[in-house]
């Protein structure tokens, strides 16, 4: 499966406004945000704002990078 | 120093007095209940789902919560509890726990044998009324939480949880509703509101910036109760405090 990331800015009122669209085979699979300084322990990590396809779980963990998220996605889909 | 019985049940008697017209004989009967004292560290499991339970747990100090866990491992906190709450009154009638019970903070507990409480209810109808009313209010709070988790936006859910905590804390004689130390972490708030800790942090920050609350870590001051109440859609009636 071909994966591509597209940087976007979100219309939020806080510092969590730097996001990537995760595209898989040309279709939007997820929206991730890079967590800002206000999140202290997890600042700089990637949070899953939305996931598409199937029934997305409530994701309570964060990822080191968009690549780490895609790896998790692939392992989950096996 | 108060004798242990008085210490264990004084707050419970005060609470039940608000729920039904208890007389002196009722008070003496409650104070004469057998019990076992224990202490628990924060995060201790008091009851696990599917446990067979033979004692009801009265929280004497500290905070606790009830929860259920989904097959995917996600935890839903279904209520928070504070001193003078009986945490599992349903075990008077239902012997197997259908949810877990855990401490939020260090806590002191009095465990009352179920048969003793059942006998008390049969012999003292006013106490049975008070305990029944307490259980019905618990159910009302659960209904409000379903509404909260299912239909309110993230900020309102958290605001509602904070309003309820502040008001119940004051009713239990634990201090002002204007300013308090939260016993729960952002993860606990997330699990109680169906959100993630990331969302909880964002929403608390936003409430802080909007001047509704002032927060330093777990120290919370509600700066504007009226705005907080409107944001939370908080209508105190469901707590049946005047009941």
Instruction: Average the pLDDT over B152-162 and give the result.
Output: 97
Which residues of B lie inside 8 Å of A (Cβ-Cβ)? Answer: 72, 74, 190, 194, 196-198, 201-202, 205-206
Q: Is residue B53 predicted with pLDDT exceeding 90?
A: yes
Question: Residue B91, Cβ neighbours under 10 Å: how many?
Answer: 22
Give chain A's largest Cα–Cα span: 37
User: Nearest residue on chain B to A41, judged by CA atoms?
Assistant: B198
* Domains B4-126 and B152-239 agree in fold: no
- Residue A54 contacts B where some CB pair is shorter than 8 Å: no
CB B56 within 8 A of CB B114: yes
Q: Apex CA B32: angle with CA B110 and CA B22, to 5°? A: 100
Instruction: Parse chain B into domains and list their residue ranges.
Output: 4-126, 152-239
**pLDDT cut 90: percent of chain B above it:** 93
| B4-126 maps to CATH 1.10.630.10 | no
What architecture is domain B152-239?
Orthogonal Bundle (1.10)
- Judged by CB atoms closer than 8 Å, whether chains meet at A47 and B198 is answered as yes
| Size of chain B in residues | 243
Q: What is the ipTM of this complex?
A: 0.86
User: Nearest residue on chain B to A43, judged by CA atoms?
Assistant: B198
* pLDDT recorded at residue B2: 46
Q: Is residue B3 predicted with pLDDT exceeding 90?
A: no
- Judged by CB atoms closer than 8 Å, whether chains meet at B198 and A62 is answered as yes
pLDDT tens for each residue of B114-130: 999 999 999 999 999 99
Beta-carbon contacts of residue A64 (< 8 Å; ≥ 6 apart): A45, A46
Tell me which residue in A14, A57, A58 faces B202 most closely, judged by beta carbons: A14
Interface probe for B, chosen from A37, A58, A62 (most Cβ of B below 10 Å), is A58
pLDDT tens for each residue of B193-238: 999 999 999 999 999 999 999 999 899 999 999 999 999 999 999 9
**Which residues in chain A are closer than 8 Å to B202, comparing Cβ atoms?**
14, 16, 38
- Domains contained in chain A, number: 1
- Rounded to the nearest angstrom, the minimum Cα separation between A63 and chain B is 12
Domain that holds residue A20: 3-77
- Of A1 and B128, the structure prediction assigns the larger pLDDT to B128
Residue matched to tokens 């605001």: B159
- Judged by CB atoms closer than 8 Å, whether chains meet at A57 and B190 is answered as no
CB A68 within 8 A of CB A59: no
* pLDDT recorded at residue B243: 45
- Judged by CB atoms closer than 8 Å, whether chains meet at A38 and B197 is answered as no
pTM for this prediction: 0.92
Confidence grade of residue B241 (pLDDT, cut at 50, 70, 90) = confident
């Amino acid at each position: 499966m071909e994966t591509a990331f597209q940087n976007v800015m979100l219309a939020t009122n806080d510092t969590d406004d730097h996001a990537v669209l995760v595209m898989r085979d040309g279709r939007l699979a997820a929206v991730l945000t890079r967590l800002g300084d206000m999140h202290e322990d997890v600042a700089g990590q990637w949070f899953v704002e939305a996931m598409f396809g199937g029934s997305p779980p409530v994701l309570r963990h964060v990822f080191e990078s968009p690549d780490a998220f895609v790896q998790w996605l692939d392992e989950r889909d096996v | 120093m108060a004798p242990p019985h008085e210490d264990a049940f004084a707050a419970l008697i005060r609470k039940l007095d608000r729920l039904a017209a208890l007389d002196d004989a009722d008070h003496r009967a409650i104070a004469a209940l057998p019990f076992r004292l224990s202490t628990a560290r924060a995060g201790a499991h008091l009851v696990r789902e599917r446990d067979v339970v033979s004692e009801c747990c009265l929280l004497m100090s500290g905070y606790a919560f009830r929860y259920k866990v989904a097959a995917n491992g996600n935890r839903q906190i279904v209520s928070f509890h504070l001193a003078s709450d009986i945490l599992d009154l349903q075990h008077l009638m239902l012997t197997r726990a259908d949810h877990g019970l855990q401490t939020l903070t260090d806590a002191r507990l009095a465990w009352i044998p179920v048969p003793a409480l059942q006998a008390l209810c049969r012999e003292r109808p006013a106490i049975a009324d008070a305990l029944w009313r307490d259980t019905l209010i618990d159910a009302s709070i659960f209904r409000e939480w379903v509404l909260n988790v299912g239909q309110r936006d993230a900020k309102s859910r958290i605001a509602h949880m904070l309003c309820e905590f502040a008001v119940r804390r004051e009713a239990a004689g634990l201090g002002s509703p204007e300013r308090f130390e939260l016993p729960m972490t952002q993860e606990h708030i997330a699990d109680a509101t169906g959100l993630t800790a990331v969302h909880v942090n964002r929403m608390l920050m936003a409430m802080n910036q909007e001047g509704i609350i002032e927060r330093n870590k777990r120290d919370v001051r509600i700066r504007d109760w009226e705005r907080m109440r409107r944001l939370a859609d908080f209508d105190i009636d469901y707590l049946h405090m005047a009941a």
